[in-house]
Amino acid sequence: MVTRAQIEAEAEWVIDLIQRTRNPTGTNHSPLPWQADNSKYKGRITSATGTFIGFFRRPEDRDLALYFANAHPGIFSLLRQLADSFEFIAGGTDDEGLKHYALERAEATRIYAELFERLGRPEGPRQ
C-alpha cells in the first residue's frame, strides 16, 4: 500500500525536477546582455554600455560564448535531453562501435550542458 508520505515525497521530487529542467540557472535572463564588439578587435565581448568583458582569438569562439551566455535556460534542458537520447541509443544497440560512440557523445553533451549552465549563472544567491 502506498502511503500519503510516499505520494508527497514523489510530488516534491517531480516539482523539483520540473523546476531544475525549466530554469536550471535560477534566473529568467542573462544579467548582462553581452554583445560582440565588431570594432578593429574582432574577438571582444562588451556589455550593453561598451564595457570590455572578454576577448577570444577567434570570432567563432566569441560568438559561441555569447550565444550560450545570453541563451534562454531551455537550451540547457535541450542539451541534457540530447545526452539522455545518446544514452538511450547506447542501451538499445548490440553494436559495440555505436554503443561506444553514443556513450562518448552523451558524456560530452552533459559536460557542455554543465559548463554552459555554470557560465550562465550570475554570481550571488539564486533568485
- Proportion of the chain in helix, strand, coil states, percent, rounded to 5: 55, 10, 35
- Domain contains 125: no
Say if 8 falls within a structural domain.
Answer: yes
Domains contained in the chain, number? 1
Kindly list the averaged pLDDT for each block of 10 residues, start to end, along the chain of length 127.
86 76 55 69 76 80 75 75 93 94 94 76 51
Q: Does residue 83 belong to any structural domain of this protein?
A: yes
81, part of any domain = yes
Residue span of the structural domain in which 81 resides = 4-120
pLDDT of amino acid 33: 67
Considering the domain boundaries, does residue 126 fall inside one?
A: no
Is 66 part of a structural domain of the chain?
yes
19, 25, 26, 27: CA torsion to nearest 10: -120
Who contacts 27 (Cβ-Cβ below 8 Å, separation ≥6)?
Answer: 73, 120, 121, 122, 127
pLDDT at 14: 79
100 occurs within a structural domain: yes
Sign of the CA dihedral with 98 first, then 100, 104, and 110 last: positive
What's the first-to-final CA gap in the chain, in angstroms?
Answer: 39
Per-residue cell: 75: 537550451
Q: What is the DSSP letter of 57?
A: S
For the question of whether the overall pTM of this predicted structure is more than 0.85, the answer is: no
pLDDT at position 126: 47
Per the rule left: phi > 0, alpha: psi between -120 and 50, beta: everything else, 26 is left
